[in-house]
Structure 1
Amino acid sequence: MLLDALRELNGWVADDGRLSRSLPLDASQHAELAEQIKIFADTLGVRPDVRRTDEATLIVLAREGGFSLTDVTFAGRVETAYITIAGDLAAREGGLAKGRFRWLRRGE
């Protein structure tokens, strides 16, 4: 079930038990998404690391023992909020396509 859920995520990367996603957002979009992330995180009991860089918002979920279905649920909610907030940008980035989740191998 976890693998099926992961296949539905767009752009999320699994690496050594972490889920991460970089989203191209401007500062105001970042602020809006960060507020949504707080709500999702509190509701689901997850503690994501959310950072703003010059061009993107980076979201990382790391949990001892690897990620769980709750983490994947969180990622799905973030993806939906991103598509709503970024609109055309998300569509151009491929945000409306499914199945672009990828696994990283150690050292990649």
Structure 2
Amino acid sequence: MGRTEQDDNVLLDALRELNSWVADDGRLSRSLPLDDSQHAELAEQIKIFADTLGVRPDVSRTDEATLIVLAREGGFSLTDVTFAGRVETAYITIAGDMAAQEDTHLSKGRFRWLRRSE
């Protein structure tokens, strides 16, 4: 059975509670500004969250950020949004002042919904 309009509304409501997560055609992603030690700490938390929820995120590291991408056939689910919420909470705990600084540049509940054509 496929997702209903009500299911999609629940997903959108949940996404509104997340900062800077990007939803685009079945992918849910977030770039987090972290240093190497913070990245390592968050990566350990992500492993626990992923195992608990049965999701398989792609986590990669650049010079200044950690990129987390959840993608699954048929689009992301409420489980993926739950995972994103747990990651966001862990990020705030780990990054501390850095996360607080980032939050001053973001409005609560701002996420981006993209289409592949953008």
- Shorter-chain TM range is over 0.9
Q: Which has the larger radius of gyration?
A: 2
Equivalences, count = 106
Cα deviation for residue 16 of structure 1 reads 1.5
Consecutive unaligned residues of structure 1, counting only runs of 5 or more, are none
TM-score, with structure 2 as normaliser? 0.87
Structure 1 residue 84: deviation in Å? 0.2
Match of 1:83 in 2: 92
Query: What is the deviation of 1:107?
Result: 2.6
1:47 shift after superposition: 0.1
CA distance in 1 between counterparts of 2:58 and 2:116 reads 21
Deviating runs (4+, > 3 A) in structure 1?
none
How far apart in 2 are the matches of 1:69 and 1:98? 19
State, as a whole percentage, how many aligned pairs show the same letter: 92
Q: 2:44 aligns with which of 35, 43, 63?
A: 35
Distance 1:36 1:5 in 2: 21
Match of 1:19 in 2: 28
Match of residue 14, structure 2, among 2, 5, 30: 5
Q: Give the whole-Å Cα distance in 1 for the aligned partners of 2:96 and 2:85.
A: 16
**How big is the shift at 1:97?**
4.9
CA shift for structure 1 position 102: 1.1
